[in-house]
């Protein structure tokens, strides 16, 4: 697949604050400009990128897709919208690495949506004034998404990705294991750094994730 330009849009990111109530964690969306991201944190991505964007295409372009792909592939893609619920993901993440006495463990949460993983990587770092590095080959993507985006020459790294959550944590491996035990795929895709650079590696190729004013303008006009 020929990837589109690497970059990310900038909008005020949602921050998730944990509030403990009994033995459950409630996660409330706030936009107070705060960030819990810290240098050295691992970046965990749940589920797959571009799920909701793929589902929408599979519904809207059903007739065309059925002429090119097996019906099972198209139907599976149409049901990706069933994977958009993130409540269980947040509840598990809220427990992992949390001190049982104080109930505290710094994490940063970014639910993906429009703009996809590139937007999420830019915003989660920019909000904290930090850098990060991530590996392209570690970004989880379904084969159905690959096939459909290639057909329509679309960039899956910028597609609507509801259902996936980007999490900054010092307990990346522990978190991925707990999520997988609950049936939620999760992968450590990168790490937070002190410097301002936000980098996406594709083997030996190094690309900078940047705010793209041109793309932002284009989407605003659309």
Rounded to the nearest 5°, which phi and psi values hold at 161? -130, 35
pLDDT-wise least confident of 9-13, 73-77, 143-147, 150-154: 9-13
Mean pLDDT of 103-130: 90
d(CA 71, CA 66): 6
What confidence tens digit (pLDDT) does each residue in 185-217 have? 999 999 999 989 999 999 889 999 987 543 344
Mean pLDDT of 50-64: 97
pTM: predicted TM-score of the whole model, two decimal places: 0.80
Q: Which two tokens stand for residue 123?
A: 């915003």
Inter-axis angle of helices 51-60 and 143-151, to 10 degrees?
50
| pLDDT tier, 161 (very low <50, low <70, confident <90, very high otherwise) | very high
Find the DSSP H helices in 38-156: 51-60, 62-68, 71-78, 87-95, 116-128, 143-151
State yes or no: pLDDT of 73 exceeds 60: yes
Domain range list for the chain:
15-221
d(CA 52, CA 57): 9
d(CA 87, CA 191): 24
- Kindly report the average pLDDT of the chain as a whole number: 82
Select, from the ranges 16-20, 35-39, 69-73, the one with the highest average predicted confidence (pLDDT).
Answer: 69-73
Q: Which two tokens stand for residue 43?
A: 């970046």
CATH homologous superfamily of 15-221 = PurM-like C-terminal domain (3.90.650.10)
Select, from the ranges 13-27, 93-107, 170-184, the one with the highest average predicted confidence (pLDDT).
Answer: 170-184
Q: Which helix (H) or strand (E) holds 166?
A: strand 165-169
- Name the one residue in this structure whose structure tokens are 């041109």: 214
Q: Which two tokens stand for residue 104?
A: 């505290």
Cβ atoms of 15 and 165 within 8 Å: the answer is no
């Amino acid at each position: 697949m020929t990837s589109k330009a690497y970059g990310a849009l900038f909008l005020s990111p949602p921050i998730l604050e944990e509030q403990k109530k009994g033995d459950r964690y409630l996660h409330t969306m706030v936009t107070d400009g705060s960030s819990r991201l810290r240098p050295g944190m691992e970046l965990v991505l749940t589920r797959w990128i571009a799920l909701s964007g793929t589902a929408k295409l599979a519904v809207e372009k059903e007739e065309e897709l059925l002429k090119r792909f097996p019906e099972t592939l198209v139907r599976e893609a149409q049901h990706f919208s069933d994977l958009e619920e993130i409540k269980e993901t947040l509840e598990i993440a809220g427990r992992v690495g949390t001190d049982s006495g104080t109930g505290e463990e710094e994490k940063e949460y970014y639910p993906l949506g429009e703009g996809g993983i590139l937007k999420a990587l830019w915003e989660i770092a920019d909000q904290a004034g930090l850098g990060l590095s991530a590996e392209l080959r570690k970004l989880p993507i379904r084969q159905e998404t690959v096939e459909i985006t290639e057909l329509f020459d679309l960039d899956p790294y910028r597609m609507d990705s509801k259902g996936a959550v980007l999490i900054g944590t010092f307990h990346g491996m522990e978190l991925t294991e707990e999520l997988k035990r609950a049936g939620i795929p999760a992968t450590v895709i990168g790490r937070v750094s002190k410097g301002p650079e936000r980098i996406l590696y594709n083997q030996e190729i190094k690309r900078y994730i940047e705010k793209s004013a041109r793309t932002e303008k284009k989407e605003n006009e659309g």
